[in-house]
Amino acid sequence: MLKKIFKFMRKVIFSFFFLYSYNLIASPLNLIVPINIITVLAISILGVPAIFSFIIILLLIY
């Protein structure tokens, strides 16, 4: 049980850094995805395709 918690926490931390690095790269294009608990959890659960879906949603709404 403790191993699963550590694995999930590692995924959350990795997704936070992944989202932060994406925002650094995409800031000149003005395609910044906000870093909050919903986006970090979605990326940690769904993986990298979640960031692409957030980008598509961002482009469609704005």
CA–CA distance, 58 with 53 (Å, rounded to integer): 8
Place of tokens 């957030």: 54
Q: Burial level of 59, CB count in 10 A (0-12/13-18/19+)?
A: exposed
What's the whole-model pTM score?
Answer: 0.85
H helix or E strand, kind and range, residue 61: helix 49-61
Q: What is the pLDDT along the chain (62 residues), one digit of tens a residue?
A: 899 999 999 999 999 999 999 999 999 998 999 999 999 999 999 999 999 999 999 999 98
34 DSSP 8-state letter: P
Question: Would you state the pLDDT for residue 25?
Answer: 95
